[in-house]
Structure 1
Amino acid sequence: MPSKSLLMLLAAILVALPASLPAQQASKTPTAESESSWQAAIKARREQLIQQNGPGTDAALRSQLLVMRDKDQSVRGFAGGKQVSGMTPDMLAKMPATDAELTQELKQIVEQKGWPTISLVGIEASNGAMLVLTHSADHAWQAKLLPQLEQLADASRIDASSLALVVDKELVSEGKLQRYGTQFKFVNGEMAMYGVEDPGGLDRIRARALLPPMDFYKQMLSQIYQVKAGNAIVSATPPAAKED
């Protein structure tokens, strides 16, 4: 079973998810007044990407990636974009093996066909590939892919919002401040956020990446993991310190 200090890195949920939350669930968030604006922005950006890139040309690969996405989400208690169960000890025990299996499958895909762009497999499958990468424990591979993925995002060939978790995960693994505030750690019975580059401008930075406000994100994490996401801040551990 992964340690609690690593749980949020292993089990982070792709932040594109809040855009699909049912209205009755979304209404519970303290940021209800701003929901319509950021959700509309995410929806508009998504439609723009689909229009620009099309539905994808490789149907077989699209189907494969969607199956991979569903497997990734099932072990985390999600099905059809909705949470169907909370995290359980059995799910946590199965998660590392599932992530390792999906990582190897994605590596083969990338080696044979390159990164699954929206134009190749459609936006759902492309984001599914990013989901698998986000949950991979192979930090070296993630870091190697990151420059290419950032270029693809800048060119609107992949969904830039789905890349935020990978960026933050790599920064935290290097002991650095994260950018978008997506990574948390269990501390004293609550979830504490790893330090960010610009605390005062965090919601503004998240909005540029078409991510939901932090209040909404914390509420979502609390609901998923049944543990409060509080206001405490923790520092990431540099790799050298981890080896000592």
Structure 2
Amino acid sequence: MAELNNKVAIVTGGAKGIGQAITKELAKNGVKVVINYNSSKGTAEKLTTDLKAEGREVYAVQADVSKIEDSQKLVEEAVQQFGRIDIVVNNAGITRDSTFKKLNEEDWRKVIDVNLNSVYNTISAALPHLLESDAGRIINISSIIGQAGGFGQTNYAAAKAGMIGYTKSLALELAKSNVTVNAICPGFIDTEMVREIPENVREKIIAKIPARRLGNPDEIARGVVFLCKDGEYITGQQLNINGGLYM
């Protein structure tokens, strides 16, 4: 079991939705959290203020992690603020759904850049610091869509599947260095993104889930803490938190 108190984590897309839940759960467990956001300045500032009022050590950094220069700045600010990096949670993600016949190049590239290329960008900058940690953790928030596909989501599915392949390969490379690399693959989680799905479609999705409900962002966050705290012998794996929808 790794002691999380005073460890330092970067959570990309850490101000909203699943990312916010991860930020809160890590902070509750004594982790110093760098909350990365791109355009959600107000939400990030409020989250930072609220957590500091609870005595948590958090710091918000604006960075578009689809750009390598921004990712390098994010890592530099994290080290300047807290002196080290032990955990990176690659959570930043967007959707631009469309059937492939109608999918334009811009929406293809944007989803790949934000969901997949950002993982390269952040880890390439953070890896030297993770290698210095006594319990380095890389956790990539993939998706059930990367495992099973999704209608109108070729771009999103490709990016999320790419995260899984990346996770396995990097886990092989870093196992000897005491850095674990894992993916969490959420199913349909009760977030703003899922609430945008038309209600009749959402009801059909829920009917197919053996647990008969959407997941909660906190359930994903607890999976992250599990891998950080108790996952020293778990690497290269996919932790499926999906209510049994994909097995």
TM-score normalised to structure 2 length: 0.30
Question: Normalising by structure 1, what TM-score?
Answer: 0.30
Which structure dedicates a bigger proportion of its chain to helix?
1
Higher strand share: 2
